[in-house]
Structure 1
Amino acid sequence: MSPAAPGRIIFLNGTSSSGKSSIARELLRVLDETFFHFPVDAFHAMRADRDIPDGEIQAELDRTARGFHRAVAGMSAAGNHLVVDHVLTDPWRLRDCLDLFPADRVLLVGVHCALPELERREALRGDRPPGLAARQLLQVHAHGTYDLECDTGHQTPTDIAHRIKTALADHPAPTAFTRLKQTLPTARD
């Protein structure tokens, strides 16, 4: 069996409650090829339901993110197409992804939403600490470079999914990941 070309990665980056998962569900419905929805939340949900001491929470979250990045890279390397649902809250997370993912195969999508709407969604969900999205808002988009940006407060997940499908077919070159890789130090630097 000949090695497969790396799979495409649609990388949805936005705060908690910004609408990434809703967009991902629509993408799986509208895309012509088979894609897997790969949400970072699914990796957190796999963790044993135990209290983690306050001094160990960040290390636990960082290990989970590193493992998630490697799982994404492995699935793509095997030729699988992915919709990644992630929150780039720390610069090292983006640098780690830049090191691991095939830059020319990643469509980086900035998922935006106004703070009042994020807070409303967060309250409705009830499964996130209050203020989580507000704390993430400035960090998540700090790198500022995307192939496509959307606002879930003004566009439906279906409309956004169709915009992403079009952008994926147009295959921007160089991709945002390629440009970021050229300008940001990688995790290995």
Structure 2
Amino acid sequence: MKGNVVVLNGTSSAGKTILARHLQSKCSEVYLLCSLDAFWDMTPYRIPAGSINFPNMKLAIAKSVRALAETGHNVIVDLVFCGQKTYRELTHELEQFNLKIVKVECPLEELEKRELARGNRRVGLAKSQYESVHCGVLYDLEVNTFLNSPEQCAQQIIDSMS
């Protein structure tokens, strides 16, 4: 039995993680959360995210999600594509599964406010990702975390899966 995979793609501070947690709580089936942040949390202290020491981190995530789905787990993926390579790798690894790719949108001005309020992200990170994160990505659904609450966005995703 193969699992379902929901990929949430958007810039840093777009609300992907809180959306993923709401989605987990609202889904009738159990979904594991596989996030880019969790993978970076595995790295040694003081080695920056995106470091050349970890050139294939996003490919490792894609292969990990594939392994989870192959063993029957449903997975929500919290990720930032930042270019075609990550998108191609992920869709290649997951093409045999029930895959839903969701665009998580938020206006740049709000992203910058959220980024400052969080205090745990490099200032300007969301802006640096804003133009490239969605380029060339084919989405099954789009949600807007500025116009809608996390609960509403989660429900939109659930409704699209039925």
State, as a whole percentage, how many aligned pairs show the same letter.
31
Separation in 2, partners of 1:109, 1:61: 26
Q: Could you say if the C-alpha distance between residues 57 and 107 of structure 1 is closer, same or farther in structure 2, counting changes exceeding 3 Å?
A: closer
Gapped runs of 5+ residues in structure 1? 170-189
- Residues 37-91 of structure 1, C-alpha deviation per residue, up to 9 Å, x if partnerless? 1111100011111346xxx954334322121111111101111001100000021
Aligned residue in 1 for 2:3: 7
DSSP 3-state at the match of 1:140: coil
Query: Given the superposition, is the C-alpha separation of residues 51 and 30 from structure 1 closer, same or farther in structure 2, using an over 3 Å criterion?
Result: closer
- Match of 1:83, SS state, is strand
Q: Measured at CA, do residues 58 and 50 of structure 1 come closer, stay the same or move farther in structure 2, by a change above 3 Å?
A: closer
Partner of 2:63, secondary structure, is: helix
Q: TM-score, normalised by structure 2?
A: 0.94
Name the counterpart of 1:178.
Answer: none
Task: Find the structure with the greater CA-based Rg.
Answer: 1
Q: Secondary structure at the match of 1:123?
A: helix
Give the drift of 1:103: 5.0
Equivalent of 1:42 in 38, 52, 56: 38
Task: Say if 2:21 is the partner of 1:25.
Answer: yes
TM-score in terms of structure 1 length: 0.81
Q: Decide which of 69, 73, 78 is 2:66's aligned counterpart.
A: 73
| Range with bigger deviation, 59-68 or 121-130 | 59-68
Tell me whether 1:90 sits opposite 2:83 in the alignment: yes
Cα deviation, residue 98, structure 1: 1.7
Distance 1:57 1:133, change over 3 A: closer
Identify the residue that residue 186 of structure 1 maps to in structure 2.
none
- In 2, the alpha carbon distance for the partners of 1:51 and 1:165 equals 37
- What does residue range 128-139 of structure 1 map to in structure 2 within 5 Å? 128-139=121-132
User: Paired residue for 1:63?
Assistant: 56
Aligned CA distance change for structure 1 residues 37 and 142 (closer, same or farther; 3 Å) = same
Instruction: Give deviations 1:105-141, integer Å, cap 9, x for gaps.
Output: 1111000000010000000111111110011011111
Question: Cα distance, 1:144 vs. partner?
Answer: 4.2
| In 2: Cα distance, 1:108 partner to 1:45 partner | 24
1:113 to 106, 112, 122: 106
Cα gap change, 1:98 to 1:123, in 2 (>3 Å): same
Runs of 4+ in 1 over 3 A off after TM superposition: none
Residue 157 of structure 2: aligned partner: 164
Paired residue type of 2:46:
R
For 2:59 and 2:137, the matched residues in 1 are separated by: 22
* Residue 102 of structure 1, CA deviation: 2.9
Separation of aligned partners in 2, 1:62 and 1:89: 14
